């Protein structure tokens, strides 16, 4: 590759990575392109050479995030046969990107629709695995008869509640690192699923 093209790609990657860092600590809405440029060590204008607009930059970051999370879930899901496995797969994939993912779900209402689509995409995958596992459990009468969608929403709601209130649950660190096991265990108990 030509040296110029190489440097161009490098700069783009630097900006993307800087943006990811800034968004992870300040959230998407409260981060300025100026700050991202500074963090990346480039001029403010350079950001707009690589990304049409702030919105496109945000979408690019979210897209990278979404792709990574869904890939991880997909990989891990091959060995997920119990509900416990599915829950753990979900939380582990999110935990890796906890801070930026938390900001994503908090800022969602103010982000473009395409961003929301990414979140929906992630949840669809989890919902799919949920569906499979829970239908099996229902068939085996190992679980009470509740709408799967309700159970799913309860789970997602619970996780998002912990994530959006990380300041309350884990002021200085990862919420999931602390509560992951406890959450999975208690949720299984709630559904009365045998842990085996």
List residues near its own copies by CB under 8 A: 27, 29-30, 106, 108-110, 144, 146-147, 150-151, 153-154, 156-162, 164, 167, 182, 186-187, 189-192
Which among 106, 100, 5 is positioned nearest to 60, based on CA atoms?
100
Provide, rounded to whole angstroms, the least separation between the CB of residue 132 and its own copies.
20
The answer to whether 129 and 80 are in contact (CB under 8 A) is: yes
Residue 53 touches which of its own copies, DNA, none (Cβ within 5-8 Å per kind) = DNA
Q: Assign residue 41 a region (left: φ > 0; alpha: ψ between -120 and 50; beta: otherwise).
A: left
Residue 46 touches which of its own copies, DNA, none (Cβ within 5-8 Å per kind) = DNA
DSSP string, 129-140: HHHHHHHHHHHT
Residues in contact with DNA by the rule CB under 7 A: 2-5, 7-8, 10-12, 31-34, 41-46, 48-50, 53-55
Provide, rounded to whole angstroms, the least separation between the CB of residue 63 and DNA.
17
Provide, rounded to whole angstroms, the least separation between the CB of residue 173 and its own copies.
17
Q: Assign residue 52 a region (left: φ > 0; alpha: ψ between -120 and 50; beta: otherwise).
A: alpha
């Amino acid at each position: 590759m030509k040296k110029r093209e190489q440097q161009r790609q490098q700069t783009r990657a630097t900006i993307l990575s800087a943006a990811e860092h800034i968004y992870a600590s300040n959230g998407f809405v409260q981060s300025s392109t100026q700050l991202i440029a500074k963090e990346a060590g480039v001029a403010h204008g350079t950001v707009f050479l690589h990304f049409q607009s702030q919105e496109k930059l945000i979408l690019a970051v979210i897209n990278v995030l979404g792709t990574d999370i869904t890939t991880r879930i997909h990989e891990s899901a091959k060995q997920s046969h119990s509900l416990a496995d599915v829950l753990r797969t979900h939380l582990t994939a999110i935990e890796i990107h906890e801070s930026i993912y938390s900001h994503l779900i908090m800022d969602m209402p103010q982000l473009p629709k395409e961003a929301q689509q990414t979140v929906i995409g992630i949840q669809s995958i989890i919902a799919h695995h949920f569906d499979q596992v829970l239908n099996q459990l229902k068939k085996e009468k190992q679980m009470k008869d509740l709408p799967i969608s309700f159970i799913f929403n309860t789970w997602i709601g619970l996780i998002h509640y912990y994530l959006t209130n990380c300041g309350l649950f884990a002021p200085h660190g990862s919420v999931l690192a602390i509560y992951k096991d406890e959450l999975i265990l208690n949720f299984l108990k709630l559904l009365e699923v045998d842990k085996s």
